[in-house]
Amino acid sequence: MNHYRYSKQREHILSYIKSVKTHPTANVIYDELRPKFPNLSMGTVYRNLQILSDQGEITKLDFGSTFDHYDGYTNEHSHFVCTSCQQVYDMPGNYPLIDQVQKVTAHQIEGCLIKYYGLCQDCLKKVKGDN
């Protein structure tokens, strides 16, 4: 693993991601931290997100949308992605099928990424007219 110099900006990026449950994009992180760091650039945000991801401090979530989302909760868990508002939510539970799949395939499974998708509670209310 590469060793990187200490960076106050990286520290704040990590702190922000770990403090929210919203799975922010790089743009959201940039907008949030820009008032504190007026010289912050998007390149710096992306570079530090890659470093933090490489170090296992955060998880980069690529759900095939335009922008990646970032998760500060690195324990194995699944996600729900709203097909309307694109919000990403943590889902509770574990992966009981891993042992079964491992036995059937004889592969050594080291992790699992499950994505549920549909309408979140807020968007569902809008569709049903329950404002």
State yes or no: pLDDT of 64 exceeds 80.
Answer: no
pLDDT at 131: 58
Indicate if 75-131 has the same CATH topology as 1-72. Answer: no
Query: Rounded to whole angstroms, how far apart are CA atoms 92 and 102?
Result: 22
96 phi-psi bin (left φ>0, alpha ψ -120 to 50, beta other): alpha
Query: Rounded to whole angstroms, how far apart are CA atoms 16 and 31?
Result: 12
CATH architecture of 1-72: Orthogonal Bundle (1.10)
Class of domain 75-131: alpha beta
pLDDT at 95: 66
The domains of the chain are located at 1-72, 75-131
State yes or no: pLDDT of 91 exceeds 90.
Answer: no
Query: Rounded to whole angstroms, how far apart are CA atoms 33 and 13?
Result: 8
Question: Could you report the per-residue pLDDT of 30-42, keeping only the tens digit for each?
Answer: 999 999 999 999 9
What percent of the chain lies above the pLDDT cut of 70? Answer: 94
Average pLDDT, the chain: 89
Query: Rounded to whole angstroms, how far apart are CA atoms 121 and 43?
Result: 34
State yes or no: pLDDT of 63 exceeds 80.
Answer: no
- Stretch 60-70: mean pLDDT: 85
Contacts of 121 (CB under 8 A, 6+ apart): none
pTM, two decimals, is: 0.80
